Amino acid sequence: MSSPLNPKTTHWEFSGLPGAIGITLGLPTLIIFFALITNENYSLTGINLDIQAIIDQLPQNSTEWIDLCFDKTCWLAYLTWFFGLVILDFILPGRSLNGVTLRDNTKLNYKINGLAMSGTLLAVLAARVYQSTNWYLPELQFIYDNHLKLTIVTTIFSFLLAIFVYITSFIPLITPNGVKTRERVLSVNGNTGSVIYDWFIGRELNPRIGTWDIKLFCELRPGLLLWFLINLSCIHNQYHKYGEITDSLVLINALQAFYVFDGVLNEEGLLTMIDITTDGFGFMLAFGDLAWLPWSYSLPARYVCLPEHKVSLGFSNIALILGIKVLGYYIFHSSNKQKSDFRQGKLDHLNLVSIPTKTGSKLLCDGWWGLSQHINYLGDWLIGWSWCLPTGFQTPLTYFYVIYFGTLLLHRQMRDEAKCRAKYGKQWEEYEAKVPYKIIPYVY
C-alpha cells in the first residue's frame, strides 16, 4: 500500500526477506541454546560443547514439547507480570511529554512515569523481603528454576504481540470526534507489502491502544525490569542453594541494575531515539525488548552463579572494573547530554564549533563530538565490558554481550551515516572531513 503519507518502502534492511526469516528463527533458537548451556544440569566450560548433554535436556516427544512451551504456571506468571505492569503504567502518576513531530504533523503524547514505576517495583520487593523468612522469595526462585520455560514463553509472546500489531496496523484510526477515520503513520522501513518482512521489521511506527503506547512500554518495562529480576534470581539461588553470595555476582547485579534504572528513570531520552522516531514496532523490537534483552543480557549472572563457575574478584579487580564502568558511563552520559543541550541551544554561549546545515539544525564538531561521530557508542560499549569482566576468562560465552553489542553499534552507525548523508548531503561530507573517526578516536 502506498499513499502520500506512507510511501512504499523500497530499501530492505537485514538483507531483506532471507535476513528477516533468519533472524526470526535464529535469535530465539540462540537464547534457548543459552538456557540449555547455563543451567544446573549442564553448563558450558571453555568452548567444549557437550552436544549429547544439550540434547538430553530437550523433550523426547510432542507432549513433552507442549508441556515445555505451554507450561500453565509459567504463562500465568508471565501474563500477570506483563499485564500487571500495563495496569501500573495506567494508574501510576507521571509527567506528560510530547514526542517528535510525525509525518502527519501530529505529535504523540507520552506519560513519563519511570520514577513511580521503579519506586513501586522496589517497594514491592522490599515488602516481600521484609515478610520473608531467611530472605526466601518463592517468586525469585520460580524465575531461576524456570529460565528455559520462561525464555520460551517470552519468545512466543513476542511472536503473538508482533502478529497483533501487524494486523491492527491495517485498521484506520478513528479521530477523536469519532466520525472520520485517518491513516496510521507507518514506519518508513516497514511498508514493503511483504507480510513476513513488514511483520518482522514493524509496519506501524507507534502502535497504540488508546493512549497506551505499546512500543515505549515494551522498550522500558517488561523486558528491562525482568532482566533485573533474573539477575536477582541468580543471587537468590546461589544464596539459598549454596549458602554464599560471590562478589562477582553482586557486582554484575549492581552494575546492570544501575543501567536498568538509569534507562527507566531517563525514559524521556528515548523519545528522540531511532527506536521511537523511525523504527516500526514488529517482531524485531518486540522480541528484542521482551525476550532477547532479558535472556541474553543476563548471561554473565547466570553463568557465574553456577558453583563450578563461581568467581571471587577481590578488591583490586572490583576497583578496576568499576573504573571501566565509571569511564564508560561518563563518556556515554556526558556526550549524549552535550549533544542534547547543544541542540536545545543551551550551549550557545560556549561558541562551540559546528556546521550549519540546509535543514536548519547544526552538526556539532567540538567537545565530545569533535573526537568521533558516535563517541557515545564507545561509552556504551565500555559499560558492556564492565558487565562481562566480572566473569573472569572462563569462556567466550560470557563475553557474548560485548561482541553482539559491538556489532549492533557498528550496524547502527552505518544506518545512521546513511540517514545523515541523505539528510545533510554536502554538509555531512564537510562534517566527516572535520571528524573522521566513526566511533573510537584514532582507531575507527
Contacts 24+ apart (CB under 8 A), 395-399: 395/44, 395/45, 395/46, 395/47, 395/303, 396/47, 397/34, 397/37, 397/38, 397/44, 397/299, 397/303, 398/299, 398/300, 398/303, 398/304
Mask 22-41, x = binds ligand NDP (CB under 6 A)?
--------------------
111 vs 374, beta carbon nearer ligand NDP? 374
- Judged by CB under 6 A, the number of residues near ligand NDP is 18
Q: Between 72 and 349, name the residue whose CB sits nearer to ligand NDP.
A: 349
Please identify, using beta-carbon distances, which residue of 116 and 408 lies nearer to ligand NDP: 408
Residue 278 to residue 296: CA distance in whole angstroms: 25
State how far the Cα of 327 lies from the Cα of 322, in Å rounded to an integer. 9
By C-beta, is 313 or 363 nearer to ligand NDP? 363
Using CB under 6 A, pick the residue from 128, 240, 337, 419 that binds ligand NDP: 419
Nearer to ligand NDP, 127 or 273 (CB): 273
Distance (Å, whole) CA 282 – CA 166 = 7
Taking the C-alpha atoms of residue 393 and residue 48, their distance in angstroms, rounded to an integer, is 14
- 233 Cβ neighbours under 8 A, 6+ residues apart: 140, 141, 143, 144
> C-beta of 75: minimal distance to ligand NDP in Å?
27
Q: Are 76 and 153 in contact (CB under 8 A)?
A: no
In the set 20, 364, 371, 382, which binds ligand NDP (CB under 6 A)? 364
Least distance to ligand NDP, CB of residue 420, Å: 5
Region binding ligand NDP by CB under 6 A among candidate stretches 168-176, 298-306, 359-367, 385-393:
359-367
Shortest CB 36 distance to ligand NDP, Å: 24
**How far apart, in whole angstroms, are the C-alpha atoms of residue 440 and residue 79?**
42
Q: Give me the torsion for CA of 20, 21, 24, 26, rounded to 10°.
A: -110
- Which residue of 149, 309, 339, 438 would you call a contact of ligand NDP, by CB under 6 A? 339
In the range 423-442, which residues lie near ligand NDP by CB under 6 A? 423
CB of 33 to ligand NDP, least distance (A): 21
Given 123, 254, 274, 319, the residue binding ligand NDP (CB under 6 A): 274
CA distance 367 to 352: 8
Least CB distance to ligand NDP at residue 410 (A): 11
Residue with Cβ nearer ligand NDP (361 or 394):
361
Residue from the set 151, 238, 376, 395 that interacts with ligand NDP by CB under 6 A = 376
Shortest distance, position 275 Cβ to ligand NDP, whole Å: 7
- Looking at 21-29, 45-53, 155-163, 368-376, which segment touches ligand NDP (CB under 6 A)? 368-376
Among residues 28, 374, 395, 399, which is the contact residue for ligand NDP, using CB under 6 A? 374
Which CB sits closer to ligand NDP, 321 or 364? 364
Q: Say whether residue 363 binds ligand NDP (CB under 6 A).
A: yes
CA separation for the pair 7, 187 (Å, rounded)? 10
Using CB under 6 A, pick the residue from 283, 287, 377, 400 that binds ligand NDP.
Answer: 377
Angle between helices 72-91 and 114-131 (to 10 degrees): 130
Q: Which residues contact 318 (CB under 8 A, 6 or more apart)?
A: 247, 251
Burial class of residue 247 (count of CB atoms within 10 Å of its CB; 0-12, 13-18, 19+):
middle
- The CB-of-73 to ligand NDP minimum distance in angstroms stands at 31
Residue with Cβ nearer ligand NDP (189 or 336)? 336
Name which position in 144, 157, 292, 369 contacts ligand NDP (CB under 6 A).
369
**416 binds ligand NDP, rule: CB under 6 A:** yes
Instruction: Compute the least distance from the CB of residue 138 to ligand NDP, in Å.
Output: 31
CA 13 to CA 415: how far, in whole Å?
9
State the minimum distance, in angstroms, from the CB of residue 249 to ligand NDP. 22
* Residues within the interface to ligand NDP (CB under 6 A): 273-274, 332, 336, 339, 361, 363-364, 369, 374, 376-377, 380, 412, 416, 419-420, 423
